[in-house]
């Protein structure tokens, strides 16, 4: 029975020597000296009571005992590294955030990059989707926090801001008289799409959906390509897009809320979430 534990640095030195075929290269890989590597190997051999490597002037070769020990040495280091990795992942706090596509906006990548830079020990995961789907994931505890666009029949969220919406089209776009209003929309389930449809129906404005699907960025691209009109927040559109609602006599769109639902109460995740919420308030209010 071996009573004293093995020196893992010595075990690593043995593996490096075998894999690199040289004490010198092993020393370089471990950022130490050749003498240091030799000492580690000798300490390991003394501990095991046998020679592991046969040294010759031109090469190093495994002894029979060394060959038998090599597989165990690699397994030992693998278990050690895996344990450290698991511990590091557990020590690093995780924050999973769902953000409605109608809220995310073009500034989102910069916001997340800033949050990651401020707290490297916080692992932030982002999910983009519809408000309804994200709220369901939140209720199933698959997400720590969601930032969504509409109330969706519930009142347990924190109001971050209310954002202006309009009926936007590309510069120079003209509606052909007598034809239904061509709309670019996201696919179901989308609360903004449903609201826009209800308002147009109430105002008895005939419409046809000429582009459906993708995210807000895809809808914006369709609008700027001149396919039709979309109900969007101004910050989602590039410079030059125009609000054609008044010109076409379309029903006014209400200011739509941005709501925060979260189980995060304190610590680094809450600090990061507060910073993100403040950034969205600023972006929405323009």
Instruction: Tell me if residue 53 falls in helix, strand or coil.
Output: strand
Closest CA to 161 of 65, 46, 257, 40: 257
Return the pLDDT at 57. 66
Encode pLDDT of 230-246 as tens digits.
999 998 888 889 999 99
SS3 of residue 195 by DSSP: helix
Segment 37-54 mean pLDDT: 90
pLDDT of 221: 92
Residues 110-147 pLDDT 10s: 777 777 776 777 788 889 888 888 998 999 999 999 99
Q: Determine the pLDDT at residue 246.
A: 92
Q: What angle do CA 107, 113, 119 make, to 5 degrees?
A: 135
Q: Does residue 52 surpass a pLDDT of 70?
A: yes
SS3 28: helix
pLDDT at residue 183 above 90?
Answer: yes
Letter string b/e over residues 126-149, b meaning 16 or more CB atoms within 10 A of that residue's CB: eeebbbbbbbbbbeeeebbbbbbb
For residue 229, give the DSSP letter: B
Checking if the pLDDT of 194 tops 70, the result is: yes
3-state per-residue secondary structure call for 113-172: HHHHHHCCCEEEEEEEECHHHHHHHHHCCCCCEEEECCCCCCCCCEEEEEECCEEEECCC
Structure confidence by residue, pLDDT tens digits, 143-155: 999 998 876 567 7
Model pLDDT, residue 25: 83
Question: What is the four-CA torsion angle of 55, 56, 62, 66, rounded to 10 degrees?
Answer: -20
Give the model confidence (pLDDT) of 244-282 as tens digits.
999 999 999 999 888 899 998 888 788 888 888 888 787
Under 8 Å between Cβ of 164 and 255: yes
Q: Is the pTM of this model over 0.75?
A: no
Q: Is pLDDT of 1 > 60?
A: no
Residue ranges of domains in the chain, CATH in brackets: 8-90 (1.10.10.10), 93-162+257-285 (3.40.190.10), 166-254 (3.40.190.10)
Q: What percentage of the chain carries pLDDT values higher than 70? A: 93
What's the confidence (pLDDT) of residue 223?
A: 93
Q: Considering Cα of 116, then 121, then 125, then 131, what sign does the dihedral take?
A: negative
């Amino acid at each position: 029975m071996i009573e004293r534990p093995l020196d893992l640095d010595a075990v690593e030195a043995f593996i490096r020597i075998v894999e690199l075929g040289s004490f010198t290269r092993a020393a370089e890989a471990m950022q130490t000296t050749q003498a240091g590597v030799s000492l580690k190997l000798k300490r390991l051999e003394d501990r095991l009571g046998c020679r592991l490597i046969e040294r010759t002037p031109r090469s190093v070769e495994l002894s029979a005992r060394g060959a038998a020990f090599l597989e165990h040495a690699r397994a030992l280091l693998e278990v050690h590294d895996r344990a450290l990795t698991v511990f590091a992942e557990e020590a690093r706090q995780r924050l999973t955030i769902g953000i409605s596509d109608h809220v995310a906006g073009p500034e989102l990548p910069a916001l997340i990059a800033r949050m990651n830079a401020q707290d490297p020990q916080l692992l932030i995961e982002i999910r983009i989707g519809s408000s309804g789907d994200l709220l369901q994931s939140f209720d199933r505890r698959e997400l720590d926090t969601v930032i969504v666009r509409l109330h969706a029949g519930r009142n347990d969220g924190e109001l971050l801001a209310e954002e202006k919406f309009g009926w936007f089209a590309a510069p120079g776009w003209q509606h052909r008289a007598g034809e239904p209003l061509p709309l670019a929309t996201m696919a179901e389930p989308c609360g903004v799409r449903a609201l826009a449809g209800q308002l147009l129906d109430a105002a008895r404005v005939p419409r046809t959906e000429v582009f459906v699907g993708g995210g807000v960025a895809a809808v914006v691209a369709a609008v700027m390509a001149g396919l039709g009109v979309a109900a969007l927040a101004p910050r989602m559109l590039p410079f030059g897009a125009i609000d054609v609602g008044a010109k076409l006599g379309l029903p006014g769109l209400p200011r739509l809320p941005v709501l925060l639902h979260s189980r995060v109460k304190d610590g680094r995740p809450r600090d990061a979430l507060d910073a993100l919420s403040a950034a969205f308030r600023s972006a929405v209010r323009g």
